[in-house]
């Protein structure tokens, strides 16, 4: 007993170090990725860009960051690439350096494509690493991994405001140091990944759930519909929450930003806890409650005063954010052996829907007003009713 315990303890410590490393790398990756969008006002002035050209920059980034992810995942499922994470971060580094000194709009497009390509390589493979290091608790592992990305996405615009906007476009190159740090961390992770791959070749392949191919496809469609509901609604809050508060309640910009920060804090907390809760009570229950269960709160939100708006936004952010780790792990268990493809599909779809949602809701706000947008979006969580059609995979977490 003592011997087995002494062997298990270092292995568990190693897993947590790997999870910490991949979460930290996710923080750096998403921080660097978010710089591009945060720099749009600066780039628009420096290059005299039209809104159509800004849209083309976004399209270039979204296409490479979203559409390539499933393709990367499919390839690495067949041929695992332990050091592809270093290559992906290297692509982001090249994009940042080009962005800092681009002399023309086509070079800006190339920089956006390189940054997006780095993201498309990072997310499927790093999600695979998180599952490999889960130690039988994949929900917890995904939560630890994803919260790093949430924190990085929030930090990017803040650092852009504090560093790049005052110092100018050339200062973007200094963020290359963060990319180099991430490359070093990911190289160490790649060493561990390669060792795990050698061990995996000697073990039996994971067992698939006893579902027909048609049922698996239908289940994947239901999961993607749930992701659509979650991320389209979150796009209305993350992109336009401050404008809604300023327009409806006449709060100051600083106050609106504080409200947004509190909401994002709740989102981060939901991301952390959603995975382990799914490990404990079952992922289907978390998925069902985290989307449909939040509907009464979202339906109430457009009709209350500022105090209640602030209060309701916290559980809305927390409950909705708890869905994605559970959805991703559920999908990975639905298609065992295809972790890269599943991760790429769901991360890519989530990114794409978030971007499309922000654009569509912005157009709708121009036409009908920001309050109409919030009234319309309040019905989106009702789509969560489809979670009742998800099969129970009967997979319990191993302790």
pLDDT band at residue 10 using 50, 70 and 90 as cut-offs: low
Residue 348 has which token pair?
């890519």
Mention every residue, 6+ apart, whose C-beta is less than 8 A from residue 137. 275, 276, 279, 397, 398
Given a cut of 90, is residue 274 above it in pLDDT? no
Give the range among 181-195, 263-277, 294-308, 319-333 with minimum mean pLDDT.
263-277
Average model confidence (pLDDT) across the chain: 84
What is the pLDDT averaged over residues 106-133? Answer: 91
Most confident of the ranges 115-124, 153-162, 205-214, 258-267: 115-124
User: 161: which residues sit within 8 A by CB, 6+ positions away?
Assistant: 38
What was the pLDDT predicted at 11? 62
Residue with more model confidence, 161 or 263:
263
Task: Copy the structure tokens of residue 208.
Answer: 């698939």
Q: How confident is the model at residue 395 (pLDDT cuts 50, 70, 90)?
A: very low
According to the model, what pLDDT value does residue 5 have?
Answer: 43
Residue 375 burial (C-beta neighbours within 10 Å; 0-12, 13-18, 19+): middle
Q: Which residues of 21-47 are buried (b: 16+ CB within 10 A; e: fewer)?
A: bbbbbbbbbbbbbbbbbbbeeebeeeb
pTM of the model: 0.77
What would the pLDDT profile of 33-42 be if each residue is shown by its tens digit? Answer: 888 877 877 8
Q: What is the pLDDT of residues 190-227, one digit of tens each?
A: 999 988 887 766 555 555 567 888 899 999 999 999 99
**What is the average pLDDT across 115-143?**
89
pLDDT at 94 over 60: yes
Q: Which helix (H) or strand (E) holds 252?
A: none
Residue 360: predicted pLDDT: 80
């Amino acid at each position: 007993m003592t011997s087995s315990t002494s062997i298990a303890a270092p292995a568990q410590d190693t897993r947590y170090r790997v999870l910490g490393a991949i979460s930290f790398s996710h923080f750096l990756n998403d921080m660097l990725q978010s710089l591009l969008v945060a720099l749009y006002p600066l780039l628009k002035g420096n290059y005299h860009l039209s809104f159509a050209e800004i849209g083309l920059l976004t399209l270039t980034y979204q296409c490479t960051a979203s559409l390539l992810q499933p393709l990367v995942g499919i390839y690495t499922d067949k041929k695992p690439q332990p050091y592809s994470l270093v290559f992906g971060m290297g692509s982001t580094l090249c994009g940042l350096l080009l962005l800092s000194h681009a002399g023309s709009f086509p070079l800006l497009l190339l920089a956006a494509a390189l940054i997006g390509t780095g993201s498309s390589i990072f997310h499927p493979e790093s999600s695979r690493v998180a599952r490999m290091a889960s130690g039988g608790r994949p929900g917890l592992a995904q939560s630890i991994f994803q919260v790093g990305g949430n924190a990085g996405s929030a930090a990017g615009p803040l650092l852009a405001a504090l560093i790049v906007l005052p110092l100018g476009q050339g200062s973007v190159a200094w963020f290359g140091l963060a990319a180099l740090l991430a490359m070093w961390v990911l190289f160490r992770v790649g060493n561990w990944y390669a060792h795990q791959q050698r061990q995996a070749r000697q073990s039996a392949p994971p067992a698939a759930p006893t579902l027909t191919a048609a049922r698996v496809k239908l289940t994947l469609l239901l999961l993607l519909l749930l992701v659509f509901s979650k991320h389209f609604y979150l796009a209305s809050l993350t992109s336009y929450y401050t404008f809604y508060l300023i327009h409806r309640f006449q709060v100051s910009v600083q106050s609106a930003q504080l409200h947004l920060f509190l909401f994002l804090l709740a989102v981060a907390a939901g991301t952390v806890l959603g995975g382990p809760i799914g490990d404990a009570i079952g992922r289907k229950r978390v998925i069902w409650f985290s989307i449909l269960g939040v509907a009464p709160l979202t339906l109430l939100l457009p009709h209350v005063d500022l105090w209640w708006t602030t209060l309701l936004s916290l559980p809305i952010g927390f409950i909705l954010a708890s869905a994605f780790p559970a959805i991703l792990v559920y999908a990975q268990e639905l298609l065992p052996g295809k972790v890269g493809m599943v991760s790429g599909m769901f991360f890519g779809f989530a990114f794409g829907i978030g971007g499309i949602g922000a654009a569509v809701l912005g157009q709708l706000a121009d036409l009908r007003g920001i309050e109409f947008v919030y009234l319309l979006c309040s019905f989106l969580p009702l789509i969560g009713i489809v979670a009742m059609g998800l099969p129970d995979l009967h997979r319990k977490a191993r302790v």
